[in-house]
Amino acid sequence: MTALLRMTMLNTNQTVSYSESYQNFKSSRQGIIMKMQDLHGKVAVITGASSGIGEASARLLVAEGMRVVLAARRQDRLQKLARELGEAALVAPTDLSNPEDVIRLFDTAKMQFGGVDLLFNNAGLGYNAPFADSKPQEWQEMIEANLYGVLRCTHAAIPLLRGRPGAMISTVSSVGGRYGLPGWSVYNATKFAVVGFHDALRKELGPEGIRVALIEPGAVWTEWGFNVPAESMRERRQALDALHPEDVAQALVYSFAQPPHVLVEEILVRPVKQIVP
């Protein structure tokens, strides 16, 4: 059972299965706390694991008993995190813009663990600028990280996800994948593309039992956001009481820990004070 939610009959110490408790609920109408999947021993590949949402997700998944492959470019940060997490963590320095790095990442996961239960496409970046003033080099970086990185990792992961009950591809999109924002037009374009890709992919992989899900965060206290003065970003996040990376990590675990036949397709999670977008 997960550390988040466990199923027990109220006022007893009896632990029951999901199907047993459902029957008990129908017959007795007693309160039931829903059982989630036991995540112990499952394997996750996490991109962008060196900071922010990826780092927080690695910690929470390991706390749930999972093994994690930590992928990012900043090897020193990955190694520091792996030392904290212990034997459950494997460091895999990866530049997602390099197709050979991506192949090596999933070859490593296959060799070490035999397969993958969760691909968490978390790496991404955004440059702020009115489109008329934006730089093609920055377009390219956003498209590489936010779209091509997702495509490469997802393509390489699918063979390792097949045949594993409850397997999931979960990708961090954004509220910017639902709403256009001035100054973020190319970033919005990459995230709208991710949303469309996942909708089609869900229909392709669902019949095989592979779940395809999106998490769409609003403002989060992370390193994300180039070309915005640090003080302006800090003030905005402070005013909104922005999410912490751990909040988004909890959304990931909630989604992944559902029973294998259950798909939480999209989670839009934002600070309660963030009324726009």
As to burial, measured by CB atoms within 10 angstroms (0-12 exposed, 13-18 middle, 19+ buried), residue 252 is buried
pLDDT of residue 28: 44
Any idea what the Cα angle at residue 159 is, between residues 204 and 69, rounded to 5°?
Answer: 115
For tokens 């910017």, name the residue: 176
The edge-to-edge listing of strands for the beta sheet with 118-121 is: 89-93, 67-72, 43-47, 118-121, 168-172, 211-217, 266-269
pLDDT per 10-residue tile (average), the chain, 277 residues: 42 38 44 83 98 98 98 98 98 98 98 98 97 98 98 98 98 97 98 98 98 98 94 97 98 98 98 96
Residues near 14 by beta carbon (within 8 Å), at least 6 away in sequence: 8
3-state secondary structure (DSSP) of residue 276? coil
pLDDT of residue 161: 98
pLDDT of residue 35: 77
pLDDT of residue 31: 62
Which helix (H) or strand (E) segment is 115 a member of?
none
Instruction: Please report, in angstroms and rounded to a whole number, the separation of the first and last CA atoms in the chain.
Output: 36
**Which amino acids are annotated catalytic?**
187
pLDDT of residue 2: 52
CA-CA distance, 208 to 200, in Å (whole number)?
14
3-state secondary structure (DSSP) of residue 11? coil
pLDDT of residue 17: 37
pLDDT of residue 184: 98
Residues near 36 by beta carbon (within 8 Å), at least 6 away in sequence: 1, 2, 4, 5, 6, 254, 257, 258, 259
- The amino acid sitting at 193 is A
